[in-house]
Amino acid sequence: MSIPASTSGAPIIEMRDIQKHFGAVIALSGVSFDIRPGECHCLLGDNGAGKSTFIKTMSGVHKPTAGEILFNGRPMRFDSPRDAMEAGVATVYQDLAMIPLMSVTRNFWMGREPTRRIGPLRFMDFATANAVTMAEMARMGIALRSPDQAVGTLSGGERQTVAIARAVHFGARVLILDEPTSALGVRQTANVLATIDKVRQKGVGVVFITHNVRHALAVGDRFTVLNRGRTLGCAERGRITPDALQDMMAGGQEMATLEGSLGGTV
């Protein structure tokens, strides 16, 4: 996979020195991050590093205590996830992406259902909704038996793909993926990574949160590592080795000892 030329463009979102405090707890103490069109920027960090808090700040769930968010170069405040979504920042959460009891179409259009007017009444336009859903799923390489199929009948990877396809269909310019591969098997992970690549080629900036270095290296163009609420460093593809990245994530020293005892299998 080569790095698309468009990665050199101006950032869509730039987060500068973001801090977030919850009462006495300092969750983020100065994180900087930016995302350009058509790149996959991986956000790595161990549990508790502040990844989730950080992306929730980016997607409008939390408001930063201090720091600046620039959207297309202009200062921006998202007051709600809805605001962020309207600006083109879509987030796919690991386990909250889809509602298993509902059909693929109902999930795909949830919150943005197309309507059709019959006299004074407005109904959901299922003909359009089903046709678009089937077409988008086919483009992502998922064969649905029918658009009425419940999401619960899909595999974990397929669910992530539906969520990603939904975000892209609704005009996401920045797609935040919160640990999309952490609960998946090998084959499904490969599918999701391939989906990320497809989305990136459309010029969408992808923020890929993971704690798996191999998954990150498979698709990432840039890598930012968080540790204890801070940016530990940012590296470009090809300028960092997997080992160096792994060490940075775990905070260096302790990992080296651990790895020794496990025979380098982590």
Partner 1 sequence: MSDASAIKDERVKDTSSLRRALIRPELGAMVGTVAVFTFFILFAGDSGMFNAQGVMNWSVVSAQFMIIAVGACMLMIAGEFDLSVGSMIGFAGMSIAIFSVTWGWPVWLAIIVTFAICVSIGALNGYIVVRTGLPSFIVTLAALFILRGFTIYFPQVIERRTIIGGVSDAAAGDWLAPLFGGKIGQPLFAWLGENGVISVFERGARAGQPVVDGVPMLIVWALALVIFGHVLLTRTRFGNWIFASGGDAQAARYVGVPVNRVKILMFMFTAFCATVFATCQVMEFGSAGADRGLLKEFEAIIAVVIGGALLTGGYGSVIGAALGALIFGVVQQGLFFANVESSLFRVFLGVILLFAVILNTYIRRIITGER
Contacts to partner 1 by CB under 8 A: 81-82, 85, 91, 93, 96-102, 106, 109-113, 115, 122-124, 126, 131, 134-135, 137-139, 141, 143-145, 150, 152-154
Instruction: Report in angstroms how near the CB of residue 98 gets to partner 1 at its nearest.
Output: 7
Phi-psi region of 184 (alpha: psi -120 to 50; beta: other; left: phi over 0): beta
* Residue with Cβ nearer partner 1 (39 or 136): 136
Distance spanning both ends of the chain, measured CA to CA = 25
* Residue with Cβ nearer partner 1 (7 or 52): 52
Instruction: Report in angstroms how near the CB of residue 61 gets to partner 1 at its nearest.
Output: 8
Element (DSSP H or E) covering residue 129: helix 126-139
Report the alpha-carbon distance of residue 156 to residue 15 in Å, rounded. Answer: 31
Cβ-based neighbour number of residue 121 at 10 Å: 8
Instruction: Report in angstroms how near the CB of residue 217 gets to partner 1 at its nearest.
Output: 29
* Residue with Cβ nearer partner 1 (22 or 123): 123
Of the candidates 152, 42, 145, 32, the one whose C-alpha atom is nearest the C-alpha of residue 97 is 152
* Residue with Cβ nearer partner 1 (24 or 143): 143
Instruction: Report in angstroms how near the CB of residue 86 gets to partner 1 at its nearest.
Output: 9
3-state helix, strand, coil split of the chain in percent (to 5) is 35, 25, 35
